[in-house]
Every structure is written in C-alpha cells, then in structure tokens.
Structure 1
C-alpha cells in the first residue's frame, strides 16, 4: 500500500507541471491557422484542429487581452509561429475575454 501511495505521489509531481496551474485548457504542439486584430480589447487567433478552445465557451477562438502584462511578447510569439510555421503550446485560464477563451500562456515549441 505504501508503494502505491509513493507511486501516485510521484506521478502527481511529474504531471502537475504539464497542466495549467490556473485551471482551464492546455493545448500543445498546435499550428496557428488565423490571427485577427481589430479595435476590440483583445487579439484573436485560431489553432489548427482545435474545435473548442475552452469548456467555458462554445467556439474555437482564443482571446488575448491587450491589458495582459505580457501582451506584446505573446503577440510576438503568435506572429513568429505563424510566419515560420512553428507549433505553439497555449494555456487558457477558464475565463472569457471579449467573448472567447482567455489566453494566459503561449510557448513557442
């Protein structure tokens, strides 16, 4: 029984960094299919093969709030990934911004 508890704890420690700490959804190794900028308070984008960006919304758009402290860096990653056809990892936080799933983290792969 002790071995089972130790193994369960070890798996939890290894898997925890793979999921967003803030709740929400985590998408890995996805290509950006479209990016949209307009006068609204968010930038928007789509990922290839993602039918629903987060359980909190019905739809496939991701919203990146312009008020985010690292907005410029995340936009740079989006544009770089789109132009170079590289994949990204995207984490949402389980809330909405501008009507779509709020992005909290973007990593270039």
Structure 2
C-alpha cells in the first residue's frame, strides 16, 4: 500500500486528541486542507507529553512528504526542516512512524 493510502486509513482512526495505546500516545492532527501532523508521544516526567517523533506531512504534491520532523525525546533533540541534506532521514522517519501507527491498530 502506498503512503497516501496508509495515511488516509490512519486519518479515519486517529484524531487530534491523543490516544494511549500500549506504550505511548498517538495523535494525528489536521493543520489545513493540505497538511497533517503525525505524532507519537511518550509520557514526560512532569505529566507532559514528549514528541518521539512528530512529523508534519504535506499533501501539496502528488505524494505525501514529510516537511518537518521534531523529536524531543532523542538526545540532543532533533529539529529538521526538509532540504536536500535530510530528505532520506525525514522520509525514513515518516515511513517508520506510519508503520508504528499501523501496528498499534
């Protein structure tokens, strides 16, 4: 199944309210008509939620692509905005996160 179909399926199950499943929280937030945010969150020491990771996905082009990645759980924290140097890293992280969401179903 391609990335678009997988994301369409996930958008029917997950929403802006984080959902705890087994080992963490899952959230799929709609930013606008062409953008969503996929996040896996772990519980922080003060009852907060820590992104591990959070990826912004754009549907503007033919295939959905990750445009921004934030991982506050990694050390040091990771903040990436898509460019020629990190395309592979963001794409791999997005595919891994989609798979994690699918496995939680």
Q: Which has the higher Rg, Structure 1 or Structure 2?
A: 1
For the criterion TM > 0.5, the same-fold answer is no
Higher relative contact order (CA 8 A, sep 6+): 1
TM superposition score normalised by structure 1: 0.28
